[in-house]
A and B are shown apart, each in its own frame.
Chain A
Amino acid sequence: MAASPTATALRATISPKPPDRFRTLIGVVATTAPAALLLIVVVLFQQAWPSVTHFGLGFLAGSTWNPVTLQFGAWPGIFGTVATSLMALVIALPVGIAVAIVLAEQGQAGIRGAVGIAIELLAAIPSVVYGIWALYVLGPWTFQHLESPVSDRFNSVGWLSSASPRSLFTASLVLAVMILPTLTAVSRDVIRAVPRGLKENAIALGSTWWETTWRVILPSARAGIFGATILALGRALGETIAVTMVIGNNYQIPQSIFSPAYTLASVIANEFTEATGDLYPAALVELGLALILVTLSANVIALVLVRSATARAAI
């Protein structure tokens, strides 16, 4: 079809690019988020500078935290942060996915709706309330009914010995409850978005409900479930107040999962108001930098994993 003169003229006026001023505006807005991240890191570095120059890279590996002798190292905090978050994921992931599978099934809308809303409401509870609940209810209960029996029985196993009402484990447990809504809600939506045809094909080939779910639906949804896991991990890594209330605030690498420990965020929250001098506050700010490093690494690792998984089996 030959282009008529009017058509050519039209094409000249309707450019695929938006008008320039609008593009500039969008560009400015779009760069705000990365700029904010950059500024935060710059300011943190500036504040932490005395500590950065004083301790160097040894700060990350150091394991003492002594405001009196001004010896600071981040390693126990990093360990506590990563350990509580990973344990919380291990606890919450099976539960979250199981609930998501049930919620994504059709039928019996009443019960599913109620359970779905209840799970989402878990996200609306302020974390300090979780902290109080964990301090007065969850911690003592798990100490009495879970930690003590287990550590008595397996006292020879180092990482299961010496139970304590405030511990790495208690903190992980409360974190698991806190990340459950994120995990469940996102996984449920992802599982619901799996094309119905896949399920029908699997059923028509003679698979049971379980085989269909395990071999077809979950593999189709795995990228999204992984995304949900990363979101949840991000929340767990940064969670401060609830963890601070139940982790026991002991700046050491714990021997047992039932021993008190500390996380980066908890140290900052507990000590920032009391920090005086130059080096002490700077070291606390550097803990913040370490926390950013941890969360960024988690996200980068996730990105790499997703890329390699997609490359292996493009869905």
Chain B
Amino acid sequence: MADRRPIEQTLAQVGRPELLTVPGASPAKINVDSLSFFYGRNQALKDVAFDIPERKITAIIGPSGCGKTTLLRVFNRMYDLVPGAHAEGHVLLDGEDVVSTRNLLELRQKVGMVFQRPSPFPMSIRDNVAFAPRLLGWPSARIKTVVEQSLERAALLEEVKDRLNDPAASLSGGQQQRLAIARCIAVSPQVILMDEPCSALDPVATTKIEDLMSALMREFTIVIVTHNMQQAARVSDFTAFMLMNPEGRFGELIEFASTADLFNRPQDDRTEAYITGRFG
């Protein structure tokens, strides 16, 4: 399979040939192709296919239980933690198959993840950010620079630079989430997955994280799962809408388009029903 298919091809693939040119489209970073996912015998995803463009923010929206978090956790193989879970199909990161790769540590260095709860490790702020670099065995001088750079890029350095040795648990919720982002970008991943990163935060902290995402977009490909449609509309360039199939009880990709198109001119009735609030 070609490494960098243009995004237009995907839109044709998901049944939107009329949208062959998307303004500002960039090459695909992740190609998802006929992806199905199972928890034991229960199918959670069926035939998901779309391309995630590079250095853009792609939002995955949909009601609870539609499989959006499951889909996100395929991209860094987090599902390996769940006994009996397995994926079929292909997820290509720069042309390399994520589903069949054996080198999980390398994959997770390339694809970072920010969770709903920031979960600071029980150590200092500095050690939290230095966690992944130390796993890679970087020299301490390099780690020192990287810690400051990452905190700076996560817009946290100003607030914590005088207390880097304080326990990370002493930070506020919003600061902890930015620390989680700093911890994630310390090893320079190419993709950042965000699983409801703002749902535990207040509006001010949420705004800060959203601003941060827009800034990080220049360097990273960001995929965000959110149940908050306003957030998807505010921050993302592309949006995927997922829904649970009522008969099969598995999640399906209903529509994928640029965010402006998906919210203004949804092609599927179910998408329209969801974004206009008549549903879910």
Report the nearest B residue to A218, measured CB to CB: B122
Give chain A residues whose Cβ lies under 8 Å from the Cβ of B81.
199-200, 203
CA distance A268 to B213 in the complex (A): 71
Q: Closest Cβ of chain B: how far from A198's Cβ, in Å?
A: 5
CA distance A201 to B197 in the complex (A): 13
CA distance A289 to B126 in the complex (A): 48
Q: How does the 8 Å CB contact mask read for B189-225 relative to A, with 1 for contact and 0 for none?
A: 0000000000000000000000000000000000000
Contact B117 A216 (CB under 8 A): no
Contacts A107-B83, A205-B135 given: A314-B115 contact, CB under 8 Å?
no
Asked whether any CB of chain A lies closer than 8 Å to the CB of B20, the reply is no
Asked whether any CB of chain B lies closer than 8 Å to the CB of A275, the reply is no
Report the nearest A residue to B119, measured CB to CB: A197
Give chain B residues whose Cβ lies under 8 Å from the Cβ of A204.
76, 78, 108, 112-113, 115, 184
Give chain B residues whose Cβ lies under 8 Å from the Cβ of A207.
105, 131-132, 135
CA distance A122 to B261 in the complex (A): 66
- Picked from B76, B83, B167, the residue with its CB within 8 Å of the CB of A313 is B167
Q: Which of B165-195 contact A (CB under 8 A)?
A: 167, 169-170, 180, 183-184, 187
Q: How does the 8 Å CB contact mask read for B41-75 relative to A, with 1 for contact and 0 for none?
A: 00000000000000000000000000000000000
Q: Which of A267-285 contact B (CB under 8 A)?
A: none
Q: Which of B139-172 contact A (CB under 8 A)?
A: 167, 169-170
Q: Which of A100-114 contact B (CB under 8 A)?
A: 106-108
Q: Which of A185-213 contact B (CB under 8 A)?
A: 195, 197-208, 211
Q: Show 19 A/B contacts (Cβ-Cβ < 8 Å), sorted by A.
A: A106-B83, A195-B117, A199-B81, A200-B78, A200-B119, A203-B81, A204-B115, A205-B132, A206-B104, A206-B106, A206-B135, A206-B187, A207-B132, A211-B135, A215-B121, A219-B123, A313-B123, A314-B169, A314-B170
Beyond A200-B115, A315-B167: 6 further Cβ-contacts under 8 Å?
A106-B83, A108-B83, A205-B112, A205-B184, A211-B135, A313-B123
